[in-house]
Chains A and B, each alone.
Chain A
Amino acid sequence: MINKKVDNVTAALQGVKDDMTMMLGGFGLCGIPENAIAELVKIGVKGLTCISNNAGVDDFGLGLLLQKRQIKKMVSSYVGENDEFERQMLSGELDVELIPQGTLAERCRAAQAGFPAVYTPAGYGTEVAEGKETREFDGKMHVLEHAFKADFAFVKAWKGDAAGNLIFKGTSRNFNPNMCGAAKITVAEVEELVPVGTLNPDHIHIPGIFVQRIFQGATFEKRIEQRTVRTK
């Protein structure tokens, strides 16, 4: 077993510097690396490029980094529900690259799997495809999309072990597995770090080879963005 365990979030974020490119898992506020984000705010690194499906809300998730103007550029598919984000984008303080959600996932996966680029039909004929190579396959047009290059990937899992093996829960899985191993260093924060050997190898979602550092998060707020219920 190769040990990936670090003691805390501070140790997990060693080497994080200004102007780096970060991948952050999560969909809305579901499955975001809360502890890593809090630490990035604490360290105060600036000029970050963040690859994340969404940009959090004003006072949680990546919204916390936006508040402190630590983000230079966001690469996302959907950025509603965040007034500060909209303000910074419209004023030109923040550079924003909006890309289709499936393309975002696949550019992560391509980086993880060693593909330099992939062809996708998504976005053909729209402004997303402007300036990109296009090619016809079987009578249908496709756009060439390049693998991301990132310094750190911050992901959140439900359970993990010191070998770096990860198991996710529910829809908090989302982009997290696709970002593992897609950056130079993958940092996984888990709700529960269990002893090596207790996870069934058949149940592992992400093998530890894709993870460089793992720690148990001190706290997880797991805020709900849209609480919808029905009555009994």
Chain B
Amino acid sequence: MLDKIGIAKRIAQEVQDGYYVNLGIGIPTLVANFVRADIDVEFQSENGVLGMGPFPFEGEEDADIINAGKQTITTLAGASFFDSAMSFAMIRGQHVHLTILGAMEVAQNGDIANWKIPGKMVKGMGGAMDLVASAENIIVAMMHTNKRGESKLLKKCALPLTGVGCVKKVVTNLAVLEITPNGFKLLERAPGVSVEAIKNATEGNLLIEGDIPEMSL
């Protein structure tokens, strides 16, 4: 089974040379740490920066340079700043190649819910609805089950939706799955996790074709 770092490491393998990538808050933010050093990638943060770098050294924080998680950051050579409308022009206009974000639920048709639990938690969607409505490639990073042990990969989302039919791939602590017209297609198992365990933790249709390889991290 993977921890959050493991999920981030596996997703980092999906990042390809020449990609502009938007990383959501949480596990997705960690992905930046594990992208291969021999490829050129730029990270976009929707609050208005392209070419995001690591956190600043202590004492070098700048209140005017933050990411969408409101964390102080640095920029790399070639970076640029822009306003919010231009930022979402990059996203809506499909100039950003890959979006990686977290989710509370994903449905087998690619629906995603991640912004609201009625009566309990309403923090808002931020840029998530714009990202999922437009991105060509969306990978969800999340735990396979919630804290009560219930599956987060469902036939149909129960929570209010963030977007419809948009998720392409899900990487969890147990597996890598692709969204297909017939449901979640199991691509890889996490180290030490059986197909049976993934089956038990998946409420939506799970397609298992042939031998399912273990992830290499």
Residues of A within 8 A of B (CB): 27-31, 53, 76-81, 86, 89, 96, 98-106, 108-109, 120-128, 158, 168-178, 205, 222-232
Contact with A along B148-165 (1 / 0, CB 8 A): 000000000000111110
Residue on A with the closest CB to B120?
A90
Which of the residues B56, B92, B115 comes within 8 Å of A120, measured between beta carbons? Answer: B92
Whole-angstrom distance between the alpha carbons of A77 and B71 in the complex? 18
Taking A125-B161, A223-B63 as given, write out 16 further A-B residue pairs in contact, using a Cβ cutoff of 8 Å, ordered by the A residue number: A28-B47, A77-B126, A79-B124, A96-B122, A100-B129, A102-B87, A158-B64, A168-B83, A171-B45, A171-B65, A172-B63, A178-B84, A227-B72, A228-B61, A228-B73, A230-B57
Which of the residues B64, B115, B125, B164 comes within 8 Å of A171, measured between beta carbons? Answer: B64
Chain B neighbourhood of A29, CB < 8 A: 63, 70
A141 to chain B, nearest CB (A): 9
Chain A neighbourhood of B124, CB < 8 A: 76-80, 98
Chain B neighbourhood of A228, CB < 8 A: 55-56, 61, 71-73
The winner among B83, B84, B88 for most chain A CB atoms within 10 A is: B84
Chain A neighbourhood of B122, CB < 8 A: 79, 86, 89, 96, 98
Which of the residues B60, B62, B69, B162 comes within 8 Å of A126, measured between beta carbons? Answer: B162
B90 to chain A, nearest CB (A): 10
B89 to chain A, nearest CB (A): 8
B196 at the interface (CB under 8 A from A): no
Listed A/B pairs (7) with beta-carbon separation below 8 Å: A27-B48, A101-B125, A102-B88, A105-B87, A122-B130, A126-B129, A230-B57
Do the beta carbons of A78 and B125 come within 8 Å of each other?
yes
B19 at the interface (CB under 8 A from A): no
Size of interface on B: residues with Cβ below 8 Å to A: 52
Whole-angstrom distance between the alpha carbons of A158 and B81 in the complex? 14
A175 to chain B, nearest CB (A): 5
Known: A170-B62, A174-B83. A126 touches B48 (CB 8 A): no
Known: A224-B63, A229-B55. A101 touches B161 (CB 8 A): no
Chain B neighbourhood of A89, CB < 8 A: 122
Whole-angstrom distance between the alpha carbons of A79 and B57 in the complex? 29
Do the beta carbons of A171 and B81 come within 8 Å of each other?
yes
Do the beta carbons of A28 and B164 come within 8 Å of each other?
no
Do the beta carbons of B133 and A121 come within 8 Å of each other?
yes
Whole-angstrom distance between the alpha carbons of A103 and B119 in the complex? 25
| Across the A-B interface, the 5 shortest Cβ-Cβ residue pairs | A102-B88, A102-B130, A125-B164, A170-B64, A100-B129
Do the beta carbons of B161 and A126 come within 8 Å of each other?
yes
